[in-house]
Amino acid sequence: MSLILSLATSAVTILSMWLVGKKHAAGWKLGLANQALWAALIIDRRAWGLIVLSAFLVVVYARNLWLWTRS
């Protein structure tokens, strides 16, 4: 399970960044949703230090999504 979760988290992160690079707001949405996978990975691996990073990324993704979609 851990390998699958790691690969899924990596793939979704790469895809979200690729979409952002292509100027698609969906990249921010996907990145925000991907934090649920990160949370599962953090719990699975007991990598508690990554919680701070994940929480910060939630704020960054939400802020950027808001900035990109407000018009």
The predicted-structure confidence for 21-52, as pLDDT tens digits, reads as follows 999 999 999 999 999 999 999 999 999 999 99
Residue 61: pLDDT above 90? yes
Residue 12: pLDDT above 80? yes
Single pTM value for the model: 0.88
Q: Which residue has the tokens 């990145």?
A: 31
The stretch 52-66 carries a mean pLDDT of 96
| Among 27, 29, 35, residue whose Cα is nearest residue 57 | 35
- Pick 2 or 12 by higher pLDDT: 12
For residue 71, the model assigns a pLDDT of: 66
CB 28 within 8 A of CB 20: yes
Please state, in angstroms and rounded to a whole number, the distance separating the CA atoms of residues 24 and 50. 27
